[in-house]
Structure 1
Amino acid sequence: MRDPYVKLEIIKEVGYIEFFHPAHNSLPGDILAELAQTITAAGDNDAIKVIVLKSGGDRTFCAGASFNELININDEATGKVFFSGFANVINAMRKCPKFIIGRVQGKTVGGGVGLAAATDYCMATKFASIKLSELNIGIGPFVVGPAIERKMGLSAMSQIAIDANTFYSPEFAKDKGLYTHVFDSTEALDEAVKTTAEHLCTYNTEAMLEMKKVFWKGTDHWDTLLAERAATSGRLVLSDFTKEKLKGFK
């Protein structure tokens, strides 16, 4: 088993941020915190003009929050901290002054869909289906919902949130605006990500910064909003319904 990590590699002015966890890239709080910090630092690094967000491994982009941590939540304060993990990463991506390109090589669930939605330009493979499974255990995609709604629209977000047992195809995600392109292989995806990122590095950095402000207009309240959403999830995870559901996963 490989150890979890977050790493940053700079190649030709592109900052490649990669996260990994052996449990299908499900992310515990410490890795989420490191990821948020790495994104913020890359945004402040003058050696980087464009950022690529990717995950390690071949199969799953991100399986969401760590289930091992979820089942051990016993009070609302701990619950809010737990669910704030993805909120902090999304807000770091939102505030980052540089374009973030998403590279989604495989399935993504829950918080992972939120990460994909918070990128500025996201490409994927034909294996990159998406699912919001939170309602299955008595909570909901409250924290990641604003990012997904912003990118895919309320109708599409509502559909996949309610149909919590279904993986939706990459083509659905592309049609709804989550992905810009869907490729037949990881190799083709990686080549497209590299080409796109390096070409963006030839653009005016000031113009890209101003465009990013346009893209994220109307989200200045998200620090407060996502904290409130995290508190909602932290309360619901303590419900009798959720506790009973989680017993089946222990």
Structure 2
Amino acid sequence: MISELTEMLYKIDKNTNIRLVLLKGAGKSFSAGADLNWMKRMAHYNWNENFQDSLALASLLSALHGLTQPIIAVVQGSAYGGGVGLIAACDFAIASNKAKFCLSEVKLGLIPAVISPYVVRAMGERASKRYFISAETFDAYKAFELGLVSEVVPHSDLDTVVENMVQQIIANGPIAIAEAKKLIDKVSLGDINEEMIRDTAQKIADLRSSPEGKEGVSAFLEKRRPVWPDKESIVTDLAEVSDDELE
């Protein structure tokens, strides 16, 4: 399942008609932890097999995080182990008030190594230390407090809230959205220096001069909705997140 999801993300990234991606789980859980059959196989892996297996998950997380289109995790139920990493690798997450979360790896004598770059950036170093080493289960409101999810809604309202957010996002300029994602990654890790000052000034100048930027400003001044060039509003749901191999 991991390789299939990764390949699907690569294809989505190249499809300029897809405006937004939703990452969902099917059933009661978003991702309930490692699959028993996979754990039985893993118990007999040698070092190289474990390394290659972990690289596959790392590639999936990188594809999620680096996707050109915005990607929202829709968390309707429990997210354990690698499932928390999937959520953290998305741009943001909307969770049901019934959702539960757990970084459970240390219970198995393991660590959440591959997902850690995304989880630590989402939750912060201090909170990550607590939940990495305690393996406590925490609820959606705690996940919101920690920054893992951006909104918690009543379970019955989840689909409606997500749809409203989808419409809010796809009304905006697709190129501007993609550039905004790149901008956040760059400025969040860099120093505020002359290079960054010039780079950010260049980026806004480029967009102001682009067909999309000109259309957006014209639409605002003319009090009408913008018509973004050569774009259809297609929203894609990724397939159910499998519990297999997500530890």
Fold in common (TM above 0.5): yes
1:109-124 alignment runs, 5 A limit: 109-124=80-95
| Corresponding position of 2:114 | 143
2:125 pairs with 1:157: no
1:45 has 2:15 as partner: yes
| Residue 117 of structure 1, CA deviation | 0.6
Partner of 2:166: 197
Distance in 2, matches of 1:70 and 1:85, equals 16
Shift of 1:66: 3.0
Q: 1:55 matched to which residue of 2? A: 25
Equivalent residue number for residue 68 of structure 1: 37
Structure 2 unaligned segments of length 5 or more: list them: 190-246
Normalization by structure 2: what TM-score?
A: 0.72
Per-residue deviation at 1:212?
Answer: 0.8
Greater radius of gyration (CA): 2
Between the aligned residues of both structures, percent identity stands at: 29
Shift of 1:39: 1.7
Residues 65 and 88 of structure 1: is their aligned pair in 2 closer, same or farther, counting only changes over 3 Å?
A: farther
Partner of 2:3: 33
Deviations 1:93-123 (A, max 9, x none): 1221111011000010010000011111210
Structure 1: gaps of 5 or more residues:
1-30, 220-236, 238-250
The whole-number CA distance in structure 2 between the counterparts of 1:56 and 1:85 is: 22
Query: Higher relative CO (CA 8 A, sep ≥ 6), structure 1 or 2?
Result: 2
Aligned equivalents of 1:203, 1:180: Cα separation in 2: 20
Per-residue CA deviation, residues 201-232 of structure 1 (Å, 9 max, x unaligned), is 1111111111111233378xxxxxxxxxxxxx
- In the TM superposition, residue 140 of structure 1 has moved relative to its aligned partner by 0.2
**Whole-angstrom CA distance in 2 between matches of 1:156 and 1:40:** 32
Counterpart in the other structure of 2:68:
97
Poorly superposed stretches of 4+, deviation over 4 Å: none
Compare the two structures and name the one with the higher helix fraction: 2
Measured in 2, the distance between the counterparts of 1:92 and 1:64 equals 20
Q: Aligned residues, how many?
A: 187
Q: Aligned-pair distance for 1:32?
A: 0.9
User: Which amino acid letter does the alignment assign opposite residue 178 of structure 1?
Assistant: L
Q: CA–CA distance in 2 between the matches of 1:211 and 1:108?
A: 28
Secondary structure, counterpart of 2:93 in structure 1: strand
Listed one character per residue, the Cα deviations across residues 7-50 of structure 1 (whole Å, up to 9, x for unaligned) are: xxxxxxxxxxxxxxxxxxxxxxxx01111111221121122111
Q: In 2, Cα distance between the equivalents of 1:188 and 1:100?
A: 20
1:60 counterpart SS class: coil
Q: Counterpart of 1:103 in 2: which secondary structure?
A: strand
Q: CA deviation at 1:64?
A: 3.2
- Report SS of the residue matched to 2:68: coil
